Structures are given as C-alpha cells and as structure tokens.
C-alpha cells in the first residue's frame, strides 16, 4: 500500500467505544451493531458475542476487551471502516477502560431511558472526556414501559453538560435506532489524524495469551505503520521482538500484512511473558523509534490482596501454573509465593478489586479444577514503625507488634453514590458505619441525589457494595477513586483456634470496632467449623488481650441409629458424602476448617 492509499483509507476509519453503566444495555447494542454491519448474521449471533468467556456471560459483565472491525456503507454512499472497541463495565477495571478509550476518537454513551444517569455513567463519561473523545449520547431501552426519553435527555444536558438534542432514542433489544447511531458515528466521530510515514506509535490497550502465538497485543496505531517481519520495541521496557502476525477481528480473525494509522488489531511476536506487553505501553520500531511514548501509561497497581492456598498441598505447583497462565492475559494480576503456618504453601495475590479477585478465584476453580482456600482480602497498609521505618503491609499477619508501631495509614477513596432520594438516610447511615466522612450531596433532579463520602478502601472492599444494594433495593450505584493514605487507629486482630494462632485468619480492624468485630467473628466461626471429637475454643485477640471468645462443643453424636432395611447402598452414599466433605476442609493444627471460614472475617453483620 502506498502512503497515499493509507492516508485515503485513514479518512474512512472511525474508532469508537460504547460506554454505559452496568446493565444499561451495552453488550446488546454491540450485538446489534455487529448484526447491522453484517459482521455476523443473526443466525451466527450468540447473544452478546463480545462477552466471550462463560463467566462474563453468566455475570452479565465484560471482563476482557475486544475490538472488532466492521464495514459500513453510509447513506452518503461511502464505505467506512468502523472499529468497535469494547470496554469492561466495572469500577475494578477503570484503567483498562481508560486505555481502550484512548484508542478511540469517539464514544457512544448509552443511558438507560428509565434509570437515567448512574454513578458509573458519569465516571465513564469523565474518562472519555479526559481522552478528548466525541461523545454521542443515546437513550436506550425506550421500549420499557417506564422509559422517559425526554427526562433522560434533559438529565444528560443538566448533569453531564452534553448536547443531547440529537441523542438517538434506541432499543438495542428491539433493534430500534441502530442505523441512526451508525450514521452519527460516521458523521460526528473524527477520522484518525496520525501520519503513516512517521515513526511507529502503537498503543497497547489489551493483551491476552494464545497457546500458539504467545502473548498477543491488542493495539491501536496512532502514528506510523507496522508490517509483518518488522523489529519492534516496547517503549517501557526497551525489549525488542519480531512481528510474526498482524490481524483484525471481523470478529473472525483476518490476517493483515500491515497495520497503519487508525487501525485497531492484534500483533503477535513470539512474546513469552505478559509482563512484556503492558497495557498502556507504546510499541515502536527498533530501527526508527519514536522519540516519546504515548501519554497515559502507568503500571496497574493492585488494590486488594489475599492469600490463595490449595486445599490439597500437592496442588501447589498446579496453582502456580494456573496463576502464571492467568497472568499471561491479565497484567493486573500479581502473585508471589507466601507461607502460612496454618495453610502451608500458597500465594499472596494482588487484584484490582473484589470483582477481579472473585473472577480469578472462580477461573482457577473452574478452568484448572483446583480447590482453594482464599483468605480474607486486605488492602496495603503503610506502617510507620517506632524506628521510623515505613513498611507496606499487604497481609495482616505480617503486621508488626503493636509496641513497634508508631502509626498506621490506610488507603482512602472518594466514593460517589447515586440514589433515589428515598434512600439518602440509609446510605448515610451505612457510610457512617463504614467510617465514612461526608463530603457533599447534590440533587441531580428532583428525585435523585449524588452523595459523596470519603471512606477507607478496606471498608469498600469488604461488603460495602452488597450492603449498599440491599439497603437501597438495588437502586443505588457506586463509583470510587483512590485519594491517598490517611492515618487511622487500626489494630491487628488475631484469631486463635484451639489456643493456636491461625495466621490466615488475622485481620486489621479499627480500634473502636475491635470488640464488636471480634464477637461477630468468633460466633460466625463457631457456626462454620464443624464439631470435632474434642472441644475447640475460639478466641479473638488484640495483642495478648482476648477480646472475644466462643467454644465449638465436642461432637456428641454422629451415628445412623436408623432402620435402613436392606438399603446398604444408601448408607454407603451417606458415608461417602461425609468423607467428601472432609476433603474440602483444611486441617489447621488439629481442627478441620471449611473454606468459607477464611472469608468469614469479612462479614460484619450480626446475622
């Protein structure tokens, strides 16, 4: 292709994302667009095609990003190349969203015609504005009886300040408004502006591992051209590789000889470790490198840490391999070996948030078939010792003795909650209970309110979201961002089973809540841990001081004193089940502890 051809083609490219609050219909809209542009016939459509993993489909969220190239002949008679870049729809993945938005010139903003703007809608709009995107609002789900298009149109103008006069009334489900959206994309989203002959600058906005190709980078070419066989360089690490394959997804993969300005596709170069393909990094050519990397790259830092331990110690290596494999496609996942006195050999793993953590756990159990104990999640505490040293503690059991601690700081977030005004009281009560500091309250319209609090991140990663949902009948939405570290009066709480400290059950708690939490947890553990042949005392201790205690009574009766007739098979099944149940528990000292017990330190409620 000559440079002239490239420039001509560039003018017909439109790169866009769809941004939305969870459940506002993003994936359905993407499906309709694929259908309309003939990328897939409706017969080929499996609902919500872009959500490829089973887990994504089950949870109704998008975890991994996908980019699709679409051909569209507009009403002006011209053929256009559209790249639809999908974004994950959860607050845990904010950075990934921001990088995929950076690969676009425009974004379709989906707002639910009944629910209006939610906290996450706002958060995503801000991310899009940060990336100078042309935002095309559309109002979805207009077929719902409770839809109120005009109110939502007004809301978009009042709250976000966007011109919503041309917002397309849409029903992705019913296929209404799709063509008009495509027309607006062609008309309003600017074509890419780079120079195909300049030094290569390709933004990595996602990566995944392929068994045959190694790490595959999803890239957007900002400047220059990359061809198969080129020597490329990763600008953050300086490592060089040779391009083996370039492709675009239609969504079926289609090999390309080159990718040039405006193109969105995948690049593979026999790269073995995902650490070499970092989301946000810039790829350039080794022999003609760009002088500066594209802006915005940062290493993603996990916010939440927990221990993962195989129930069967023999599966330690399997677990390591599983984590390595997952890490190939998930640069945000961190892990390093860790030893627990109670649980043996395992890994301390870092995640972007609780959802990210749950997804990884579920994938390990499902895809790799390893039963695990997960310890309660922890944030990173900054501990200043009396010796003046600052420690970063991501595991409560590693917290130094209280006498050696000068003070402890913990991460705080600014949390924005959007809610119908009926629930303001309930939300404020919840935020207070979670050690929140009130910042601001704004009316969005006559019925809806945005409440802002500063809260410790540790309270959010626990059960804040669940409690928020249950105290507002699911109407409230949440978005938060890290605002830094603040000093808190924190103590480490140890749990002793049968008079032995179980390091995997230790947790950090605010001094004022220590007694209350200790009580709740010993009672919870009493419920969860099955009775043994001997009595097992459970104690919660701060330092050497016992703050709560409870006792698991000895097992008194486990015998089938029943007339089973000649049905011996049934007796056998019962015993097999009992045996199987034990296999799913972890021996801690002389006590058999079920998986759930290790997460129980999370539950703060007296239920």
Partner 1 sequence: MGIRAAYVHIPFCEHICYYCDFNKVFLKNQPVDEYLDALEREIEMTLKQYPTDHLETIFIGGGTPTALNEPQMQRLMEIIQKHLLPLTGDDLEYTVESNPDGVSEEKLDIMKAGGVNRVSFGVQSFDDGLLERIGRTHREAKVAQTLDAAAKRFDNISVDLMFGLPNQTLDQVRYDVSRALQLPITHISSYSLILEPHTVFAIQERKGKLPLPTQDLEAEMYQVMIDTIEAGGYAQYEISNFAQTGKESRHNRVYWENDEYYGFGAGSHSYINQTRRANIAPIPHYIKAEGLPVRKETPLTNVERMEEEMFLGLRMKDGVSLERFQTKYGVAFKDVFGEVMKRLLPNGLVEQTETHIRLTPAGVPLANEVFAEFIGEAQVQ
Site string for partner 1, 513-542 (x = CB under 8 A): ------------------x-x---------
Q: Could you say whether residue 607 binds partner 1 (CB under 8 A)?
A: no
Q: Which of 121, 131, 136 is nearest to 444 (CA)?
A: 121
Q: Which of 110, 155, 25, 21 is nearest to 448 (CA)?
A: 155
What number of H helices and E strands is found in the chain? 15, 33
- Provide the Cα torsion 148, 151, 157, 163; round to 10°: 50
The residue from 392, 561, 606, 607 that contacts partner 1 (CB under 8 A) is 561
Q: How far is the CB of 527 from partner 1 (least distance, A)?
A: 13
Residues 6+ apart with CB under 8 A from 26: 18, 19, 20, 62, 89, 110
Supply the DSSP symbol for 464.
I
Separation of alpha carbons 176 and 193, rounded Å: 32
Q: Could you say whether residue 78 binds partner 1 (CB under 8 A)?
A: no
282 labelled binding-site residue: no
Q: Confirm if 417 and 468 have CB atoms less than 8 A apart.
A: yes
The residue from 212, 238, 559, 605 that contacts partner 1 (CB under 8 A) is 559
The residue from 317, 553, 584, 590 that contacts partner 1 (CB under 8 A) is 553
Residue closer to partner 1 by CB (options 43, 577) is 577
The residue from 292, 406, 429, 567 that contacts partner 1 (CB under 8 A) is 567
Burial class (CB in 10 A: 0-12, 13-18, 19+), 67: buried
Q: How far is the CB of 578 from partner 1 (least distance, A)?
A: 5
Q: Could you say whether residue 314 binds partner 1 (CB under 8 A)?
A: no
The SS3 call for residue 361 is helix
Separation of alpha carbons 455 and 476, rounded Å: 17
Q: Could you say whether residue 560 binds partner 1 (CB under 8 A)?
A: yes
Q: Cβ atoms within 10 A of the Cβ of 23, count? A: 17
Alpha helices in 262-308 (DSSP H): none
Q: Confirm if 172 and 32 have CB atoms less than 8 A apart.
A: yes
The SS3 call for residue 251 is coil
User: Is the backbone of residue 358 left (phi > 0), alpha (psi -120 to 50) or beta?
Assistant: alpha
Q: Could you say whether residue 572 binds partner 1 (CB under 8 A)?
A: yes
Q: Which of 347, 343, 350 is nearest to 312 (CA)?
A: 343
The 3-class SS string of 164-178 reads CCCCEECECCCCECH
Site string for partner 1, 580-599 (x = CB under 8 A): --x-----------------
# chain residues binding partner 1, by CB under 8 A: 25
Q: How far is the CB of 571 from partner 1 (least distance, A)?
A: 7
Select from 208-216, 308-316, 507-515, 561-569 the region that touches partner 1 (CB under 8 A).
561-569
Q: Could you say whether residue 288 binds partner 1 (CB under 8 A)?
A: no
Q: Could you say whether residue 287 binds partner 1 (CB under 8 A)?
A: no
79 labelled binding-site residue: no
Q: How far is the CB of 580 from partner 1 (least distance, A)?
A: 9
Q: Could you say whether residue 392 binds partner 1 (CB under 8 A)?
A: no
Q: Cβ atoms within 10 A of the Cβ of 469, count? A: 14
Q: Which of 34, 29, 60 is nearest to 45 (CA)?
A: 34
Residue closer to partner 1 by CB (options 1, 574) is 574
Tell how far CA 101 is from the center of its chain.
Answer: 16
Select from 123-131, 232-240, 476-484, 560-568 the region that touches partner 1 (CB under 8 A).
560-568
Separation of alpha carbons 201 and 261, rounded Å: 9
Residue closer to partner 1 by CB (options 531, 549) is 531
The residue from 556, 605, 606, 607 that contacts partner 1 (CB under 8 A) is 556
**Tokens linked to 184:** 């607006």
The residue from 565, 605, 606, 607 that contacts partner 1 (CB under 8 A) is 565
Residues in the chain: 607
Residue closer to partner 1 by CB (options 387, 563) is 563
The residue from 54, 75, 576, 584 that contacts partner 1 (CB under 8 A) is 576
142 labelled binding-site residue: yes
Residues 6+ apart with CB under 8 A from 209: 215, 216, 274, 325, 328, 329
Select from 376-384, 399-407, 449-457, 563-571 the region that touches partner 1 (CB under 8 A).
563-571
Q: Could you say whether residue 566 binds partner 1 (CB under 8 A)?
A: yes
Q: How far is the CB of 59 from partner 1 (least distance, A)?
A: 29
The residue from 557, 605, 606, 607 that contacts partner 1 (CB under 8 A) is 557
Q: How far is the CB of 563 from partner 1 (least distance, A)?
A: 6
Query: Where is the binding site for GTP, in residues?
Result: 23-28, 140-143
Q: Which residues bind partner 1 (CB under 8 A)?
A: 531, 533, 553, 555-563, 565-569, 571-572, 574-576, 578-579, 582
């Amino acid at each position: 292709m000559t440079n002239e051809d490239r420039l001509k083609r560039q003018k017909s490219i439109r790169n866009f994302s769809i941004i939305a609050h969870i459940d506002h219909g993003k994936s359905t809209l993407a499906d309709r667009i694929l259908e309309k542009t003939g990328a897939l016939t409706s017969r080929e459509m499996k609902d919500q095609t872009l959500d490829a993993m089973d887990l994504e489909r089950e949870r109704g969220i998008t975890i991994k990003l996908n980019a699709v190239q679409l051909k569209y002949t507009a009403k002006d008679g011209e053929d256009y190349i559209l790249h639809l870049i999908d974004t994950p729809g959860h607050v845990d993945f904010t950075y990934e969203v921001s990088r995929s938005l950076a690969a676009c010139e425009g974004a379709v903003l989906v707002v639910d015609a009944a629910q209006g703007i939610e906290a996450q809608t706002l958060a995503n709009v801000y991310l899009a504005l940060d990336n100078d995107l042309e935002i095309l609002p559309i109002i979805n789900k207009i077929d719902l009886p409770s839809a109120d298009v005009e109110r939502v149109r007004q809301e978009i103008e009042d709250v976000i300040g966007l011109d919503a006069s041309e917002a397309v009334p849409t029903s992705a489900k019913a296929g209404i408004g799709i063509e008009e959206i495509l027309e607006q994309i062609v008309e309003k989203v600017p074509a890419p502006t780079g120079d195909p002959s300049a030094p290569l600058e390709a933004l990595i906005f996602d990566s995944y591992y392929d068994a045959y190709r190694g790490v595959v980078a999803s890239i957007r070419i900002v400047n220059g051209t990359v061809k198969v066989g080129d020597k490329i360089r990763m600008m953050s690490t300086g490592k060089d590789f040779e391009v083996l394959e370039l492709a675009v997804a239609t969504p079926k993969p289609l090999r390309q000889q080159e990718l040039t300005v405006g193109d969105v596709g995948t690049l593979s170069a026999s790269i073995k470790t995902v650490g070499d393909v970092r989301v946000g990094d810039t790829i350039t050519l080794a022999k003609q490198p760009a002088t500066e990397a594209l802006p915005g790259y940062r290493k993603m830092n996990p916010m939440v840490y927990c221990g993962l331990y195989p129930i069967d110690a023999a599966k330690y290596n399997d677990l390591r391999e599983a984590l390595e494999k997952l890490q190939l496609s998930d640069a945000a996942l961190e892990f390093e070996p860790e030893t627990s006195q109670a649980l043996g050999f395992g890994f301390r793993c870092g995640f972007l948030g609780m959802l990210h953590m749950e997804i990884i756990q579920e994938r390990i159990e499902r895809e790799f078939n390893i039963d695990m104990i997960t310890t309660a999640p922890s944030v990173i505490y900054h501990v200043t010792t009396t010796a003046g040293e600052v420690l970063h503690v991501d595991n409560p059991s590693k917290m130094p003795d209280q006498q050696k601690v000068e003070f402890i700081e913990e991460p705080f977030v600014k949390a924005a909650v959007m809610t119908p005004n009926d629930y303001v009281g309930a939300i404020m009560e919840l935020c207070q209970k979670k050690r929140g500091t009130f910042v601001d309250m704004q009316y969005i319209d006559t019925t809806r309110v945005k409440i802002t609090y500063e809260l410790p991140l540790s309270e959010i990663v626990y059960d804040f979201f669940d409690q928020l949902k249950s105290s507002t009948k699911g109407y409230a939405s949440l978005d938060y961002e890290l605002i830094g570290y603040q000093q808190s009066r924190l103590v480490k709480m140890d749990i002793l089973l049968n008079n032995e400290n179980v390091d995997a059950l230790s947790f950090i708690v605010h001094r004022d809540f220590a007694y209350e939490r200790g009580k709740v947890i010993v009672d919870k553990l009493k419920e969860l841990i099955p009775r043994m042949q001997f009595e097992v005392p459970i104690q919660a201790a701060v330092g050497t001081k016992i703050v709560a205690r409870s006792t698991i009574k000895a097992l008194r009766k486990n015998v089938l004193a029943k007339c089973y007739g000649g049905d011996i098979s049934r007796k056998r099944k019962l015993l097999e089940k009992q045996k199987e149940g034990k296999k799913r528990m972890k021996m801690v000292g002389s006590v058999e502890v079920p998986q759930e017990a290790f997460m129980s330190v999370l539950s703060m409620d007296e239920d």
